[in-house]
Structure 1
Amino acid sequence: MSSTSTGGFAAAPGQFRVGSVMNKTFAILGRRFGKFALLALLPMVPVLLVTLAMLTSSPPSASSFGAAIAAILFGLLTFVLQILAQATSLYGAFQEMRQKPFTIGDSLRIGLARTVPVIGVGILIALAMMLGFLLLVVPGIILGCMLYVAIPACVIEKLGVTASMSRSVALTKGYRWQIFGLFLLVIVVSAVGAFAFTLIGGNGLIGQILAFGWQVVSTAFAAVQSAVIYHDLRMAKEGIDLDTLANVFD
């Protein structure tokens, strides 16, 4: 069985392993942490601005229903911008897997060129997961695993919104327990880190900035991980090599 080297780690057709995904993710992120953190930060600046505005404004007199709607909208904005950060990180992650250099500008250019379909995919994923969580949580988790690589499919294969989601459903089939473990790890680490930094800095300005900083780091990690998962799923299902996958960027 042939194998393809990705950043110093082997990936072979027919294999999708959680340990391999994690090793490659940490190696790629570790080599270019500053670049990936910046790629995650730039799309998420509006989240920081909204957070700071909320901290510095007078307490709203809106009803609890209005506050709940505002919280949902803020959560949706955060989720969509994290999805966009994932899109802008894909080029860099693939270049690192190929052990080739990349620039922030090129990664932003390639990711942002797909802004409209990526945001469309992000909104539909968010709405589907929200509906799933309302139906006793488990359906939301299942949908999240099924749609985990919709953004890489959208950017790399240049698919439309629904086609990207269908492609993700097909690629993840047979590997959703493994993806669930990776998905859960990102959620738990993100939540625990945000909680810890809020405890350290309190609910004021310092605490919110620390929590946002951690959110950027966890978003960068999730973005790189999604690229590795997409690559390894394509290898496992189709035997396609890394250079062939990355040709779309050339």
Structure 2
Amino acid sequence: MTSTDATTVQPAFGVGERIGETFSVMGQRFFTFLLLAAIPGIVVQLVSYFIGMGAGNPLDPDVAASNAMVQSPATAIMVVGVVPMIAYSIMTGMMVLAAYDTKAGRPVRFNAYLGETARRLPALIIITLIATFGIAVGSMLFLVPGLWLCGVWAVCVPAIMIERAGFGALSRSSQLTKGYRWPVVGFIVVTYIIISVITFLVAMVAAFLPIPALFVAIVLGLINGITTALLSIAVSVAYARLRDIKEGVGYADLAEVFD
């Protein structure tokens, strides 16, 4: 290999390292992320629980949605679509900021996270809706197009929160992930599988314990919140690695952006 060839070799994304980094960030401030995850996760689950009471299993989202649809189509849209989207958009935005503060060794700043997320909420909701719809449609086409789009748009939320990319976040994510899309997909998929196994085991234990249904709903909401927290940290870690590879920007530089 010549010296010219050597200079063209791309730095590795490092799937294993990024997985370890994701759980390391979660572990460093577990109770901070737990608090950020618990509130929206439990709120969404409790809304579905109370709407779904009276017929079937109120903890089954399909039952809750069906009951709500019978009562009122508008209620169903709120329960199934609007409330979760707003709640999880807020939580994801705050998680991204908290992850960078954690990696940069800075203190927790809940008010700053909430304020920054509120200012970017319209972009967060719309971009999340577009990306989710696009990936869902792509996944119907033999799965591969959906996975590819997941790789293309994986870091759109950090782009909104850290760079203030707004409605240009999908384009910015595409730019950053170019050349690394399949490693990013592999990272997200493996992380999701690990999280799914853990949450499944916890949910199974909760389901078999002799505890009230309302408490089970709270536990499930907490599990959903923690799952979203870990995935939010994962995309934050991926974004930081891509910025480091392509632009030489470190965590401390990224964290200063939202002061």
Q: Is the 8 A contact 1:129 1:143 kept in 2?
A: yes
Question: Is contact 2:97–2:161 with CA below 8 Å preserved after alignment?
Answer: no
Matched, 1:94 2:100: yes
Work out the number of aligned pairs and report it. 235
Partner in structure 2 of residue 224 of structure 1: 233
| Larger-Rg structure | 2
- Per the TM alignment, residue 167 of structure 1 is displaced from its structure 2 partner at its CA by 0.7
Q: 1:217 to 1:139 in 2, by over 3 A?
A: same
Partner residue of 2:80 out of 56, 67, 74: 74
The amino acid across from 1:58 in the alignment is A
Counterpart residue number, 1:51: 48
Aligned counterparts of 2:112 and 2:134: Cα–Cα separation in 1 = 31
Partner deviation per Cα, 1:29-86 (whole Å, 9 max, x = no partner): 111111112122333344122232244233579989x79x969x73786466434322
Kindly indicate whether residue 204 of structure 2 is the aligned counterpart of residue 202 of structure 1. no
Which letter maps to 2:94? T
1:194 Cα deviation from its structure 2 partner? 4.2
The yes-or-no answer on 1:149 pairing with 2:155 is yes
Which residue of the partner structure matches residue 137 of structure 2? Answer: 131
Pairing partner for 1:167 from 161, 164, 172 = 172
Q: TM-score, normalised by structure 1?
A: 0.80
- Alignment partner, residue 27 of structure 1: 24
Instruction: Tell me, yes or no, if the aligned pair for 1:22 and 1:225 is still in contact at 8 Å.
Output: yes
Aligned to 1:10: none
**Distance in 1 separating the partners of 2:164 and 2:187:** 25
**Which residue is equivalent to 2:191?**
186
Identity value in percent: 28
Task: Return 5+ residue gaps in structure 1 as ranges.
Answer: 1-12
Return closer, same or farther for 1:100/1:62 CA change in 2, 3 Å cut-off: closer
TM-aligned CA deviation for residue 145 of structure 1: 1.6
The alignment's C-alpha RMSD in Å is 3.0
**TM-aligned CA distance change 1:131 to 1:77, over 3 Å:** farther
**Alpha-carbon distance in 1 for matches of 2:179, 2:243:** 13
* Counterpart amino acid of residue 37 in structure 1: L
Deviation larger for 51-60 or 36-45: 51-60
**Residue of structure 1 equivalent to 2:245:** 236
Distance 1:208 1:110 in 2: 30
Contact 1:86 1:223 in 2 (8 A): yes
CA distance in 2, matches of 1:78, 1:37: 18
Structure 1, residues 95-119: CA drift from partner, whole Å, max 9, x if none?
1111111222222222222111111
Match of 2:222 in 1: 213
Question: Which consecutive residues of structure 2, in runs of 5 or more, have no partner in the other structure?
Answer: 1-9, 57-62
Q: Within 1, Cα distance between the matches of 2:12 and 2:250?
A: 13
Indicate how the Cα distance of structure 1 residues 200 and 76 shifts in structure 2: closer, same or farther if over 3 A, else same: farther
